[in-house]
């Protein structure tokens, strides 16, 4: 039950070791110039790795993160790390922000600045990510995580609260809303047409529901086919052999960076802060959470515990929107639905001011 203050304080020896490892990266020779068609291009990763070693300032990032009150507590045998940023308004609504993969709580730092006057913000690290480590038991998937989040909010004394997330965070948020419906006022998630299509490939019967003769359905089916053909590589590995890829992620910072950077480059539309990406990569590296974070996807792929469906008001913010997302998601009547032309998978980093405005709009009517 104890909630303990937490401060990030990475030993200088670990910072020096990271710099040394980056400088000694053994790069492959003779790779053909194939752009992004075969994965992360060599010159792109070389340049980003050099900046991580020589230009990026971890101590400045660490100090910035430590400006937010941080805590840890043990729930169901697992250490859970979280930010708790209270609004100046005592009557503000509490709001849980849950990140996805491949990300970390630091994804939300720019969004926090837009929301901290309107909400009491609770920003946990998923089990196995950053400082919610180590993970010593199996079974930490959506359902168990949702139960932990509900317990965390109970410990913090919040009787009514909202939940928000994207990617894994969307699934966790929906599960919290189904599990703790007596206390959750609403669930708000972000998505984009490509993520919606990727998710639809795992839903039984989705292909049968779509009509290839309809132009919108035709595009949705094409995106689903594209994901099956070219977008499942990381999922296949992590859903089946997370430990095998985990040794690479835990031993090579350049390998860890490449694994993260491919998703950020391919899944974004608007420019994102390169230092913010490297802060996320540094959190993975210093906490040694590459293998346990990869393992979260394995746990969910082999779990039947998806939690109960949400029975509270729902809101969607779709970035890079077109007609396919609404067709694939098919939201129930009364759902808050907002579409934005630009941005994609990481709107908290790409368009935090737009996402913040949508969150305020959705929760304004639920206070």
pLDDT reported for residue 306: 77
pTM here is: 0.97
Do the beta carbons of residue 172 and residue 125 sit within 8 Å? Answer: no
pLDDT reported for residue 140: 97
Round the average pLDDT of the chain to a whole number and report it.
96
Nearest Cα residue to 261 out of 288, 286, 282, 232: 282
- Taking the alpha carbons of 326, 181, 346, 341 in that order, is the dihedral positive or negative? positive
**Cα gap 41→258, rounded to integer Å:** 9
- What is the set of active-site residues? 167, 298, 345
Do the beta carbons of residue 45 and residue 254 sit within 8 Å? Answer: yes
**Cα gap 326→139, rounded to integer Å:** 32
pLDDT reported for residue 307: 77
Tokens of 39: 């994965």
Q: What CATH architecture applies to the domain 3-26+36-364?
A: 3-Layer(aba) Sandwich (3.40)
pLDDT reported for residue 165: 98
Tokens of 126: 């998923």
pLDDT reported for residue 294: 94
Nearest Cα residue to 277 out of 80, 62, 106, 25: 106
Give the chain's residues under pLDDT 70: none
**Cα gap 107→104, rounded to integer Å:** 6
Q: Where are the domains of the chain?
A: 3-26+36-364
* 203-237 pLDDT, tens digit each: 888 878 899 999 999 999 999 999 999 999 999 99
Place of tokens 């697992």: 78
pLDDT reported for residue 205: 83
Do the beta carbons of residue 23 and residue 17 sit within 8 Å? Answer: no
Q: How far is CA 13 from CA 17, 20, 275, 280, 283, in A?
A: 6, 10, 21, 19, 15
pLDDT reported for residue 367: 79
* 143-153 pLDDT, tens digit each: 999 999 999 99
pLDDT reported for residue 206: 82
pLDDT reported for residue 184: 98
């Amino acid at each position: 039950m104890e909630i303990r203050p937490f401060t990030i304080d990475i030993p200088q020896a670990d910072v020096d070791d990271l710099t040394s490892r980056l400088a000694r990266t053994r790069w492959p020779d003779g790779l053909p110039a194939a752009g992004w068609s075969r994965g992360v291009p060599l010159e792109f990763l070389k340049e980003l790795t050099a900046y991580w070693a020589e230009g990026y300032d971890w101590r400045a990032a660490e100090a910035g993160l430590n400006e937010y009150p941080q805590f840890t507590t043990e729930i169901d045998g697992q250490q859970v790390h979280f930010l708790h940023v209270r609004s100046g308004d005592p009557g503000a609504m509490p709001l849980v922000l849950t990140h996805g993969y491949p990300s970390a709580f630091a994804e939300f730092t720019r969004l926090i600045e837009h929301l901290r006057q309107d909400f009491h913000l609770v920003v946990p690290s998923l089990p196995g990510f950053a400082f919610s480590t180590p993970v010593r038991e199996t079974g930490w998937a959506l359902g168990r995580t949702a139960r932990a989040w509900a317990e965390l909010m109970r410990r913090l004394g919040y009787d009514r609260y909202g939940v928000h997330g994207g990617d894994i965070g969307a699934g966790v948020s929906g599960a919290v809303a189904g599990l703790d419906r007596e206390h959750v006022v609403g669930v708000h998630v972000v998505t984009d047409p490509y993520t919606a299509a990727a998710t639809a490939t795992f839903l039984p019967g989705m292909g049968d529901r779509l009509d290839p003769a309809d132009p919108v359905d035709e595009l949705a089916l094409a995106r689903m086919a594209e994901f099956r053909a070219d977008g499942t590589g990381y999922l296949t590995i992590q859903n089946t052999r997370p430990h095998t890829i985990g040794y690479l992620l835990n031993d090579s910072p350049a390998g860890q960076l490449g694994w993260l950077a491919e998703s950020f480059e391919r899944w974004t539309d608007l420019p994102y802060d390169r230092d913010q990406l490297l802060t996320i990569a540094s959190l993975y590296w210093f906490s040694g959470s590459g293998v346990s974070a990869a393992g979260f996807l394995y746990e969910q792929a082999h779990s039947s515990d998806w939690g109960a469906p949400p029975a509270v008001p729902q809101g969607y913010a779709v970035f890079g929107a077109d007609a396919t997302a609404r067709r694939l998601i098919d939201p129930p009547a009364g759902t808050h639905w907002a579409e934005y032309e630009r941005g994609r998978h990481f709107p908290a980093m790409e368009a935090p001011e737009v996402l913040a405005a949508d969150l305020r709009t959705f929760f304004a009517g639920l206070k």
